[in-house]
A and B are shown apart, each in its own frame.
Chain A
Amino acid sequence: QVQLQESGPGLVKPSQTLSLTCTVSGGSITRGGYYWSWIRQSSGKGLEWIGNIFYSGATYYNPSLKSRVTMSLDTSKNQFFLNLTSVTAADSAVYYCARALGGARPWGQGILVTVSS
């Protein structure tokens, strides 16, 4: 079955760019008409949907983050990516990637990212 795994730095300095990778195994990100999502969870704001990317490259971002978010994908590596610029402590959270169609399932295990100098 499809599995997702997040990777990237666990510590990012304020004002820098948070960059995460989601590696998908057990199925191609170009098949099935799925969206590929990033979702984050912080103690202060609960679960927050960040955005979706379709295999065509079409993207949909949360307006609250839109000016700072870029999602992309590499179909040859079966990976998709999240870049979040100008981070502050408020961006500290567990970041999840997920497959989405009618909701999100499955999810990756999550990666804790802390923004601190």
Chain B
Amino acid sequence: DIQMTQSPSSLSASVGDRVTITCRASQGIRNDLGWYQQKPGKAPERLIYAASNLQSGVPSRFSGSGSGTEFTLTISSLQPEDFVTYYCAQHNSYPWTFGQGTKVEIK
């Protein structure tokens, strides 16, 4: 199985801050990675597909980059609704696997 190591597991930040979340794959996955946002009590929603493509309707403050084994999700200016949990997930090979999540908290 491909292990997805996401860091940090949590972070504290303020409205307007720029934050970066990292996901590392245990082997190369090309750009077969998505980033998901999960609000409390809700299903995850995809923000980024193919590592760097913004899902339609997602604010442009979200961006993704990376290829191979190292990936990042950046939020350029945190908004109040962004203080939730984020996951990466690879679909390069079965079984599909998820990172353990990053909870973004208000400082």
Contacts and interface: CB of A to CB of B under 8 A. Distances in A.
A4 to B, nearest CB: 9
A102 B34 contact: yes
Residue in B32, B33, B44, B50 whose Cβ sees the most chain A Cβ within 10 Å: B44
Given A46-B101, A47-B87, A104 B94 contact: no
B21 to A, nearest CB: 15
Mostly helix, strand, loop or mixed at chain A's interface?
strand
A47 to B, nearest CB: 4
B100 interface: yes
A109 B55 contact: no
Contacts of A87: none
A105 B55 contact: yes
Given A47-B44, A60-B94, A103 B49 contact: yes
Contacts of B49: 102-103, 105
Nearest to A108: B43
Interface residues of B, number: 22
B46 A46 contact: no
Contacts, number: 53
Contacts of B45: 105-107
Contacts of A107: 43-45
A103 B91 contact: yes
Interface string B16-55: 0000000000000000111000000011111001100001
Nearest to A48: B98
Residue in B32, B42, B43 whose Cβ sees the most chain A Cβ within 10 Å: B43
A103 B94 contact: no
A34 interface: no
Contacts of B94: 60, 62
Contacts of A48: 98
B46 to A, nearest CB: 4
Nearest to B97: A49
